[in-house]
Amino acid sequence: MAKKEKKIVKVSDDSKDTNSYTLDENRRIIKAKERKDAKGDAKKYRIGAIVCWLLAIVMEVIAILRLTGRIDLFSKMSLMGFVILFVILDLIFFVPGSLLWKKANHIDPASEKDKTKFWIWNNLGTILSILAFLPVIIFIFTNKDLDGKQKGIAGAIAIIALLIAGVASYDFNPVSAEQLAHAEKEVKAVSPSGKVYWAKHSKKYHVDKDCPAFSRSEEVYEGSVAAAYENNLTDPCRRCIPELKEDEEKE
**Shortest CB 191 distance to Zn ion, Å:** 11
- Which residue type occupies 26? N
Asked if residue 240 binds Zn ion (CB under 5 A), the reply is: yes
**Shortest CB 213 distance to Zn ion, Å:** 5
The residue (of 118 and 214) whose beta carbon lies closer to Zn ion is 214
Number of residues in contact with Zn ion, rule: CB under 5 A?
6
CA distance 108 to 45: 10
Choose which of 18, 239, 248, 249 interacts with Zn ion (CB under 5 A). Answer: 239
Burial of 189 (0-12, 13-18, 19+ CB in 10 A): middle
Asked if residue 206 binds Zn ion (CB under 5 A), the reply is: yes
User: Scanning residues 119 to 148, which ones bind Zn ion (CB under 5 A)?
Assistant: none
Residues sharing a CB contact under 8 Å with residue 17, sequence separation 6 or more, in sequence order: 33, 34
Asked if residue 162 binds Zn ion (CB under 5 A), the reply is: no
Asked if residue 195 binds Zn ion (CB under 5 A), the reply is: no
Cross-sheet strand order for the sheet of 219-224: 6-8, 20-23, 28-31, 219-224, 195-198
Candidate ranges 20-28, 118-126, 147-155, 234-242; the one touching Zn ion (CB under 5 A):
234-242
Contact 101, 125 (CB under 8 A): yes
Asked if residue 211 binds Zn ion (CB under 5 A), the reply is: yes
Residues sharing a CB contact under 8 Å with residue 16, sequence separation 6 or more, in sequence order: none
Asked if residue 237 binds Zn ion (CB under 5 A), the reply is: yes
Asked if residue 233 binds Zn ion (CB under 5 A), the reply is: no
- Which residue type occupies 24? D
Site residues for Zn ion per CB under 5 A? 206, 211, 213, 237, 239-240
